[in-house]
């Protein structure tokens, strides 16, 4: 045996190909197939072998292959076109944001997320949250927002999934080679890689910072794998969602507090801070600490500034899905922190305590407390979030709880098939991609001939089936199955059969195996000789989620049974490559979470642009997207207390809808073999959903409803040495100190409310009286709160501010209102008082409300 030394030879690029390297280090290529085609054509086999990674590809491609392309005039012309397109994109000044808000181009939005799903070559994502973050960044780039993203660099990523011969998920982690990734050192003004540090639990931990270029914007990732750290600390950021609670809190301290320090080290002065999920909520504490210590203002004044500048998006409708840390752990990591805020331990912990769970510090509650603007990710999820976190605002009706919603979308150009895009270029005009967010953009879909759309869909379906077969062969070979079993895969899946896709994170509430609740019935549907059906599954279970592992095992076992073999497929290692093939090639996308636990469900949005039809529970985004002509629903909006009954009813709905609607429609073809009514529904899906469930629309909505108000609010509270912040802080402190003096009465010193009878459309004169103590009446809003009466409660409530008539002899204030109700029915009303200040983001965030009692 002898020793060897490694020699790493990097291919030297001819001068004509140097720009391919620039593009490789900017993930712009990931949503521009013309750029990807250039790498593929140089050496397709190497491109596939290296998992479609352009950085590594350029390092390993042979000189011979490169030289051969120099003599290919067509290739060189297309290279020139791609380079020009890239340069024009990067230098474009006339972006949507610049045109619409030229006065705000010098502002910066800082976006914090624990994971980013940008492309499979950078596996620092686990599922929908990460892909949403990645798509958000891409849309911010396309729209020209001043935008910087912050995250962590997980050198072992999430995990690779293997499904062994017994059907059990196995997890494995592999170190990423930074030199082979589209990632660069983040440099300071001195040309040195930025490094930050955080001191916690008696030690200092360092992190180096990397930069990922995403079109016009940058993502900065922190990495603790540096020589100054101990071995344990070097592995702190190694894995996404790995380790115990100690690892999690340390990662989240780096994400939030460290993220602010990264911005400082880079000289990036953000105006707006967007927390995508509660993992980064410590960010707000660091912003307050800096203001208290550097600007010498009080905690309450600093908090008003942070409220105005901060936005929080919650993604989980499951209470257990929120990160919580035991109080002893908060003492361990923040024992020397709350003093820097000017707070006691009690007041500090109050920032993150959910009243019903006062033994744990809740990161979602902290984010809700510190952010002035809060939202869920669909209309239903906003309502569910208001319900889950109602005790953060005691006494406030759920509809008034200050959590709104911005429904998620997907980055269209990341998920569209190049063949479908070419079709749209032909029939919608070559500039359709610049106005994805406009419904009128897709009006021309009806001009596409049915034959043309259907033919492309069939090509994509065959491409998917070939992809699945290749993956299955790899799985079987890795599991040591016989060559006969491997050869059988060539007969799996019929290109002409109705094909359903189900792929997502395998949390148990997503009920991946719901369709197998009645095995005999689904077997009959699958094996109809004239109208066969097949299903492709993919998804990862969290390594610690035993019940989800059982679901994978169950599907795998069923897939091996007679009547299901070759018709039910379970693919391992679900990632963006698998997802892209599935959302472009199946016929139907099925989603059956246990309602209302799906926050949004963006996987179903990815299929719309490709003409695939959704079949889903009325949950998340599908509640808003379904119109009766663009897909199908499973079950209805019934709320269940019993999960067993819910699963039974929903599974029966799946079978009934498949048998009576979906299968017959798919196989109802004309003389040319085209299912014209099916194609009509494909077009309806594209027209009604694509524009509205794009991240272009979503990011525009964030800009208009969240970012711009935050920019304006921050400018106001920071002006004149923070005078407005100080006034608001003083106002809230004054109101909280004296709110106990506020009393409301329907008549003078009486609490019984009168009953009224009136004809519809006639006015009812209502009066109320308030005792305010030393609070000025201009600082109080008195309202009539009314709505339909149901079981002694007011539902579908509305509120109207009452007019102050003046002060009475006894010192109370009289308010009145003429209320007109147009529709007949039984209604109820009451009165309430809240603080009133035009500069409050939301009056209910004060926690002050008084009712007639």
Give the pLDDT confidence of 494-510 residue by residue, as tens digits.
Answer: 999 999 999 998 989 99
Q: Are residues 400 and 304 in the same domain?
A: yes
Q: What is the CATH number of the domain that holds 206?
A: 3.40.50.2000
Cβ neighbours around 230 below 10 Å, total: 11
Residue 548 lies in a domain: yes
Residues 714 and 759 in one domain: no
Q: What is the pLDDT of residue 487?
A: 95
Do 679 and 718 have their domain in common? no
Same domain, 461 and 547: yes
- Are 490 and 348 members of one domain? no
In whole angstroms, what is the distance from residue 400 CA to residue 576 CA? 39
Indicate the residue among 91, 118, 141 that finishes a domain.
91
Instruction: Give 470's contacts (C-beta < 8 A, 6+ positions apart).
Output: none
Residues 376 and 354 grouped into a single domain:
yes
In angstroms, the CA 645 to CA 659 distance is 21
For residue 749, pLDDT beyond 60: no
Q: Where among 45, 61, 91 does a domain terminate?
A: 91
Q: Is 108 in contact with 272 (CB distance < 8 Å)?
A: yes
Residue that has been written with the tokens 């006494």 in this structure? 395
- Asked if residue 428 is part of any domain, the answer here is no
Cα gap 330→359, rounded to integer Å:
11
Do residue 707 and residue 652 come from a single domain?
no
**pLDDT at residue 320 above 70?**
no
Q: CB–CB of 493/582 below 8 Å?
A: no
When mean pLDDT is compared across 449-458, 529-538, 574-583, 788-797, the lowest value belongs to: 788-797
DSSP string, 457-496: HHHHHHHHHHHHHHHHHHHHHHTT--HHHHHHGGGSS-TT
Residues 239 and 334 in one domain: yes
Average the pLDDT over 812-840 and give the result.
93
Give domain status of residue 80, yes or no.
yes
pLDDT digits (tens, 9 = 90+) for 353-380: 987 777 899 999 999 999 999 999 999 9
Beta bridge partners of 111: 149, 274
Residue that finishes a domain, picked among 52, 71, 91 = 91
Q: Facing residues of 834 across strands?
A: 781
d(CA 426, CA 349): 59
CA dihedral 161, 164, 167, 168 (to 10 degrees): -60
User: Which is it for strands 533-538 and 568-571: parallel, antiparallel or unpaired?
Assistant: parallel
Range of the domain at 84: 15-91
Q: How far apart are CA 650 and CA 499, in angstroms?
A: 20
The closest alpha carbon to 327, from 360, 376, 278, 368, belongs to 360
Phi, psi dihedrals of residue 295, rounded to the nearest 5°: -105, -5
Question: Are the beta carbons of 523 and 515 closer than 8 angstroms?
Answer: no
Residues whose CB is less than 8 angstroms from the CB of residue 735 and which lie 6 or more positions away in sequence, other chains included: 775, 779, 835, 846, 848
Give the mean pLDDT of the chain: 94
Residue 661 domain-assigned? Answer: yes
The model's pLDDT over 448-465, given as tens digits with 9 standing for 90+, comes to 999 999 999 999 999 999
pLDDT tens digits for 402-419? 999 999 999 999 999 999
Domain harbouring 799, CATH code: 2.60.40
Tell whether 498 and 358 lie within a shared domain.
no
Are 100 and 194 within one domain?
yes
- 371 and 494 inside one domain: no
Contacts of 47 (CB under 8 A, 6+ apart): 39, 40, 57
In a domain, 594, yes or no: yes
Burial 436-449 (b: 16+ CB within 10 A, else e): bbeeebbeebeebe
Could you tell me if residue 693 is inside a domain? Answer: no
The closest of 398, 451, 433, 450 to 785, measured between CA atoms, is 398
pTM for this prediction:
0.95
- The answer to whether residue 419 sits within a structural domain is no
Q: Looking at the structure, tell me whether residues 281 and 296 fall in a common domain.
A: yes
Residue 108 lies in a domain: yes
Contact indicator for 212, 118 with CB cutoff of 8 Å = yes
Count: domains in the chain? 4
């Amino acid at each position: 045996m002898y020793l060897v030394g490694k020699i790493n030879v990097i291919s030297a690029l001819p001068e004509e190909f140097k720009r391919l390297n620039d593009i490789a280090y900017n993930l712009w290529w990931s949503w521009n197939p013309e750029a990807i085609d250039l790498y593929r054509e140089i050496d397709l086999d190497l491109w596939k072998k290296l998992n479609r990674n352009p950085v590594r590809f350029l390092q390993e491609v042979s000189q011979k292959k490169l030289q051969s392309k120099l003599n290919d005039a067509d290739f060189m012309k297309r290279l020139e076109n791609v380079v020009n397109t890239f340069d024009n994109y990067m230098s474009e000044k006339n972006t949507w944001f610049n045109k619409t808000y030229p006065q705000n181009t010098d502002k910066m939005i800082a976006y914090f997320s624990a994971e980013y799903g940008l492309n499979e070559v950078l596996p620092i994502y686990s599922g929908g949250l990460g892909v949403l973050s990645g798509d958000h960044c891409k849309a911010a780039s396309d729209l020209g927002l001043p935008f910087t993203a912050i995250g962590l660099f997980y050198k072992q990523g999430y995990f690779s999934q293997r499904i062994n011969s017994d059907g059990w998920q196995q997890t494995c982690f592999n170190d990423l080679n930074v030199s082979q990734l589209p990632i660069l050192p983040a440099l300071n003004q001195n040309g040195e890689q930025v490094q930050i540090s955080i001191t916690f639990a008696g030690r200092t931990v360092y992190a180096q910072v990397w930069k990922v270029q995403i079109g016009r914007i940058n993502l900065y990732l922190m990495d603790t794998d540096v020589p100054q750290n101990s071995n344990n600390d070097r592995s702190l950021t190694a894995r996404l969602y790995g380790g115990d609670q100690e690892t999690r809190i340390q990662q989240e301290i780096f994400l939030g507090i460290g993220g602010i320090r990264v911005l400082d080290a880079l000289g990036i002065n953000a105006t707006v801070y967007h927390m995508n999920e509660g993992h980064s909520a410590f960010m707000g504490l660091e912003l307050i600490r800096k203001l208290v210590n550097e600007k010498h203002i009080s905690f309450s004044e600093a908090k008003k500034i942070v409220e105005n500048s901060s936005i929080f998006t919650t993604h989980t409708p499951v209470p257990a899905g929120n990160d919580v840390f035991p109080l002893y752990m908060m003492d361990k990591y923040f024992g020397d922190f709350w003093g820097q805020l000017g707070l006691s331990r009690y007041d500090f912990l109050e920032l993150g305590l959910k009243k019903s769970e006062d033994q744990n510090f809740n990161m979602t509650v902290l984010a809700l407390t510190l952010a002035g603007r809060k939202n869920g990710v669909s209309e239903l999820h906003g309502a569910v979030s208001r319900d889950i976190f109602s005790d953060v605002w005691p006494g406030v009706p759920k509809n008034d709880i200050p959590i709104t919603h911005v429904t998620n979308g997907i980055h269209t150009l990341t998920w569209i098939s190049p063949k479908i895009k070419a079709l749209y270029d032909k029939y919608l005009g070559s500039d359709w991609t610049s106005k994805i967010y406009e419904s009128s953009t897709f009006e021309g879909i009806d001009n596409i001939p049915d034959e043309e759309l259907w033919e492309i869909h069939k090509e994509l379906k065959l491409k998917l089936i070939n992809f699945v077969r290749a993956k299955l062969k790899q799985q079987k070979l890795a599991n040591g199955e016989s060559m006969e079993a491997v050869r059988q895969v060539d007969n799996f899946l019929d290109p002409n059969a109705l094909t359903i896709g189900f792929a997502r994170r395998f949390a148990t509430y997503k009920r991946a195996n719901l369709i197998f609740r009645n095995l005999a019935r689904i077997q009959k549907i699958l094996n109809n000789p004239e109208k066969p059906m097949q299903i492709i599954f993919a998804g990862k279970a969290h390594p610690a989620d035993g019940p989800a592992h059982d679901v994978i095992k169950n599907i795998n076992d069923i897939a091996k049974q007679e009547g299901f073999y070759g018709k039910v497929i379970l693919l391992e290692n679900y990632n963006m490559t698998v997802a892209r093939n599935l959302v472009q090639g199946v016929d139907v996308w099925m989603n059956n979470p246990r309602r209302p636990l799906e926050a949004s469900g963006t996987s179903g949005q990815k299929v719309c642009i490709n003409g695939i039809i959704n079949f889903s529970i009325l949950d998340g985004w599908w509640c808003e997207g379904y119109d009766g002509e663009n897909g199908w629903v499973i079950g209805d909006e019934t709320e269940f207390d019993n999960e067993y009954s819910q699963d039974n009813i929903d599974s029966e709905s799946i079978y009934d809808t498949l048998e009576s609607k979906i299968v017959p429609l798919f196989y109802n073809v004309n003389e040319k073999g085209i299912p014209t009514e099916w194609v009509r529904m494909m077009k309806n899906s594209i027209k009604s959903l694509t524009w509205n469930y794009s991240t272009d629309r979503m990011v525009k909505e964030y800009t208009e409803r969240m970012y711009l108000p935050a920019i304006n609010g921050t400018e106001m509270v920071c002006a004149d040495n923070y005078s407005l912040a100080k006034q608001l802080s003083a106002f809230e402190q004054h109101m909280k100190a004296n709110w106990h003096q506020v009393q409301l009465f329907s008549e003078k010193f009486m609490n019984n409310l009168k009953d009224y009878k009136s004809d519809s459309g006639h006015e009812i004169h209502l009066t109320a009286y308030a005792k305010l103590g030393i609070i000025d009446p201009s600082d109080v809003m008195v309202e009539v709160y009314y709505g339909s009466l149901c079981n002694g409660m007011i539902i579908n409530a509305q509120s109207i501010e009452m007019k102050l008539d003046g002060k009475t002899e006894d010192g109370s204030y009289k308010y009145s209102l003429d209320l007109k109700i147009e529709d007949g029915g039984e209604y109820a009303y009451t009165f309430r008082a809240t603080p009133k200040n035009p500069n409050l983001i939301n009056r209910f965030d004060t926690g002050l409300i008084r009712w007639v009692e």
